[in-house]
A and B are shown apart, each in its own frame.
Chain A
Amino acid sequence: MAGAPAPRLSDYRLFTDPGARAPNAGLTPYALNTPLFSDYALKFRFLYLPPGAKAAYRPDGVLDLPVGAALVKTFAYPADFRRPDEKVRYLETRLLVHRPDGWAAYAYVWNEAQTEAVLKRAGARIDVGFTDAQGRARTVDYRVPNQNQCKECHQLDKTLTPIGPKARNLNGDYTYAEGRENQLAHWSRLGLLTGAPPPAQAPRAPRWDDPAEPLDGRARAYLDANCAHCHNPKGAASNSGLFLTLDETRPAAIGIGKAPVAAGRGSGDLKVGIEPGHPEQSILAYRLASAEPGVMMPELGRSITHEEGLALVRAWIAATPSTSKPPQKP
């Protein structure tokens, strides 16, 4: 039986101040090499572990987080992305709580005064205005997901699960108060994580926005973070047969030469998911470019186009060689 979550974020005492700027003991901040795009919102992530509890390393998938653990993520916008540390407005703080009966997801929406966040199970809409990194004035009709929608993305075989804190996506540096350090090494050193090898021996997802990394790795990491939570054989989009996890190698499963199944007008009159060399003929790029419900992908979690992510995927498709596989004919 699912019980009731606390009505206010402050009830959990995760932060020492009403505005949740100052984390309490037990919270460790973290970042992902390649995160999900959420309408350009900044995300402040923390792992909460009960005193003495430890996460266990896994080379694949999400780290094994003990019952009592929680993931805390605040979505926020600075007034101006050229000064991202100033005038930061919190919109919502999402909790993923590991309870004895499994993970549960809750969204707490911040008030105008930024003094209190209250539980919103049915979702909400918030008008947001900001100046983007190029100095352009932007608005976003920001959507807080309903409780079921959290699960739509956060599921494997219909069981709610975290997505982000995989070893490969945590295997990067973070700038802590005491200095810069690899996150896996930091967590291990503080006794929060057991069984992790030295970072050099752990898998590492490329940073999608690091031009020094190979294009293929960056694009696949981007698709993994932005699509594969649904587009995997155990996810909400399993029926599509389009699987965008980092480890997927079958060309048709990635979308190469693959006809759409249930895309409807999401096909954009195009014939295949990926036409190698031709982003303009690829449904994958068409749906990433769209901001129209019924067409855009992902279906949840964004309302505007991620221009930089789209440019990366387009460049990757343009550089993808034709598989030169002939059509199967008897």
Chain B
Amino acid sequence: MLRFAAAVLAATAFAGLAEAKTLTVNPGGDAQEKLQTALLDARPGDTVELAAGRYELTDGLSLDVADVTVKGAGADKTVLSFKGQKSSGEGLLVTSDRVTLRDFAVEDTKGDGIKAKGTDQISFIGLRVEWTGGPKATNGAYGVYPVASTNVLIQRVTVKGASDAGIYVGQSKNIVVRDSTAAFNVAGIEIENSIGADVFANTSTHNAGGILVFDLPNLPQMGGHSTRVFDNQVVDNDTANFAPKGNIVANVPTGTGVMVMANRDVHVFANRIDGNQTAAVMLVSYTQKFDDKTYNPLPRDIAVHDNQIGRNGWSPQFEGGGLLAMLMGGTLPPVMWDGVTTYGDSGEVAHVRLSDGPVLNLHLAAPGQLKTAKPTKAATEGDAQPAEPRPVELPKRQADLGR
């Protein structure tokens, strides 16, 4: 048994500082083992290079080494196909810090596409995540899925077909989503229970809902705030909601441009929002049952201004929407607020500045109490001056990656 102890000691010997190296992986019959082995062999500073071609994978891949770049030959050239996936909840899982994923595609995962959990400085650049059979309830939930992470960069990423959100950032801090495209998902881009996000210069189209900023109860990180949604194209979100019930996005009406639910300090400005049959912008409270005293279900301190708002709201896809539209003269005003301003005994009052309009205020007595609606329509709503959240600053090294 001494030999066992010796083996343990030998295994812990310091391997010394090695120079950063590139581990190249080629497609082929044993792609699963070769690719996963490279992800295990990589040392901090290394690059795992995925040569062009199609990789047929049967199991989820995972990376747990910090400071590693995984780089393909392009989002249409290096394709990781999970059509034959037999296990794992996602295609690729990253659990280490300062990882950059760039220039490859992940297709047809059984669960989520690419997940990063509990990481610092995770960067998704020039990726494509797609369910190639088009929008289906049997597709995986999220395309790119950073969660419980700090410093998240998503740039030039395309996601198609997710049965929940194409680009989803949950319970994270300091987030940039830019220059990306989300199409034919239930939700294009969703920022949930997160603090400090800039979502700009993206195109969100042909989803059920374009861009969502949500806060949900009973989660380790709640009290999401400080998100700026600007300079995006939120157009023609016209795919019928295909989310499996039970998921929060199943409640997003088909044809929603931007939706803010609960959350605070959300500023929506300078976007082009057009061709969304339910509404351009909706501000709503969380209406489901919950058992969480620390949660505030109202959207608070919300500003909507200087958006270029086209034709929206001609056929709202929520219960009572048709009647409401009729009351409003055939079309729903582009900006809709449930109008709930106070919740519980917190004393906190929900302020808004909705200067794009007209604005429909439902004046609900409480979240979801549609029967109490006293709808009014006005050119603008609210005269609060909520301060715009400061621009998100990523560490310079990370911010420069996408240049």
Q: Which of B3, B89, B221 has the most CB of A within 10 A?
A: B89
B118 engages A158 (CB within 8 Å): yes
Assess whether B379 is interfacial by the CB under 8 Å rule.
Answer: no
Q: How far is the CA of A4 from the CA of B14 in the complex (A)?
A: 11
- Residues in chain A near residue B142, CB distance under 8 A: 262, 264
Our pick among B9, B111, B147, B219 for the contact of A264 (Cβ within 8 Å) is B111
Q: How far is the CA of A203 from the CA of B366 in the complex (A)?
A: 47
A293 engages B291 (CB within 8 Å): no
Q: How far is the CA of A256 from the CA of B16 in the complex (A)?
A: 51
B3 engages A238 (CB within 8 Å): no
Assess whether A257 is interfacial by the CB under 8 Å rule.
Answer: yes
Q: How far is the CA of A263 from the CA of B243 in the complex (A)?
A: 11
Q: How far is the CA of A261 from the CA of B11 in the complex (A)?
A: 41
Q: How far is the CA of A3 from the CA of B138 in the complex (A)?
A: 42
A143 engages B246 (CB within 8 Å): no
| Contacts known (A14-B4, A293-B87); A264 close to B141, Cβ less than 8 A | yes
B1 engages A241 (CB within 8 Å): no
Assess whether A305 is interfacial by the CB under 8 Å rule.
Answer: no
| Contacts known (A99-B11, A146-B36); A263 close to B147, Cβ less than 8 A | no
A-B contact count (CB 8 A): 207
Q: How many residues of B contact A (CB 8 A)?
A: 74
| Contacts known (A13-B3, A121-B40, A294-B140); A262 close to B147, Cβ less than 8 A | yes
- Residues in chain A near residue B290, CB distance under 8 A: 252, 259, 327-328
B288 engages A259 (CB within 8 Å): yes
A12 engages B3 (CB within 8 Å): yes
Our pick among A14, A68, A263 for the contact of B247 (Cβ within 8 Å) is A263
> Which among A76-84, A127-135, A147-155 touches the partner chain?
A147-155
> Which among A178-186, A205-213, A267-275 touches the partner chain?
A267-275
B86 engages A293 (CB within 8 Å): yes
Q: Which of A14, A266, A328 has the most CB of B within 10 A?
A: A328
Contact flags B186-215 to A (C-beta < 8 A → 1, else 0): 000000000000000000000000000000
> Which among B55-63, B72-80, B307-315 touches the partner chain?
B55-63
Our pick among A122, A149, A264, A270 for the contact of B164 (Cβ within 8 Å) is A264
B12 engages A99 (CB within 8 Å): yes
- Residues in chain B near residue A101, CB distance under 8 A: 12
- Residues in chain B near residue A13, CB distance under 8 A: 1, 3-4
Assess whether A100 is interfacial by the CB under 8 Å rule.
Answer: yes
Q: How far is the CA of A11 from the CA of B6 in the complex (A)?
A: 11
- Residues in chain A near residue B33, CB distance under 8 A: 122-124
Q: Which of A285-330 contact B (CB under 8 A)?
A: 292-295, 299-300, 303, 325, 327-330
Assess whether A251 is interfacial by the CB under 8 Å rule.
Answer: yes
Our pick among A12, A283, A325 for the contact of B291 (Cβ within 8 Å) is A325
B36 engages A122 (CB within 8 Å): yes
- Residues in chain A near residue B3, CB distance under 8 A: 11-13
Assess whether B403 is interfacial by the CB under 8 Å rule.
Answer: no
A293 engages B40 (CB within 8 Å): no
Assess whether A137 is interfacial by the CB under 8 Å rule.
Answer: no
Q: How far is the CA of A48 from the CA of B33 in the complex (A)?
A: 30
Q: How many residues of A contact B (CB 8 A)?
A: 74
Contact flags B107-136 to A (C-beta < 8 A → 1, else 0): 001111000011000000000000000000
- Residues in chain B near residue A268, CB distance under 8 A: 244, 246
| Contacts known (A238-B220, A293-B87); A269 close to B15, Cβ less than 8 A | no
Contact flags B324-360 to A (C-beta < 8 A → 1, else 0): 0000000000000000001110000000000000000
Q: Which of B341-394 contact A (CB under 8 A)?
A: 342-344, 366-367
Q: How far is the CA of A146 from the CA of B40 in the complex (A)?
A: 9
Our pick among B8, B64, B171, B246 for the contact of A272 (Cβ within 8 Å) is B246
| Contacts known (A269-B244, A328-B289); A158 close to B95, Cβ less than 8 A | yes
Our pick among B95, B109, B145, B366 for the contact of A329 (Cβ within 8 Å) is B366
Interface residues of B (CB under 8 A from A): 1, 3-5, 7-16, 32-34, 36-37, 39-40, 58-60, 62-64, 85-89, 93, 95, 109-112, 117-118, 137-142, 145, 147-148, 163-164, 168, 170-171, 216, 218-221, 244-248, 288-292, 342-344, 366-367
Between-chain CB contacts (< 8 Å), 25 pairs = A1-B13, A2-B11, A6-B11, A24-B1, A25-B1, A48-B1, A50-B4, A99-B8, A122-B32, A124-B33, A143-B59, A143-B87, A148-B95, A152-B93, A152-B95, A252-B290, A252-B292, A263-B141, A263-B246, A264-B140, A265-B163, A266-B141, A267-B245, A269-B245, A293-B86
* Top 4 A-B residue pairs of the complex, sorted by shortest distance between their CB atoms: A264-B141, A267-B246, A294-B110, A294-B111
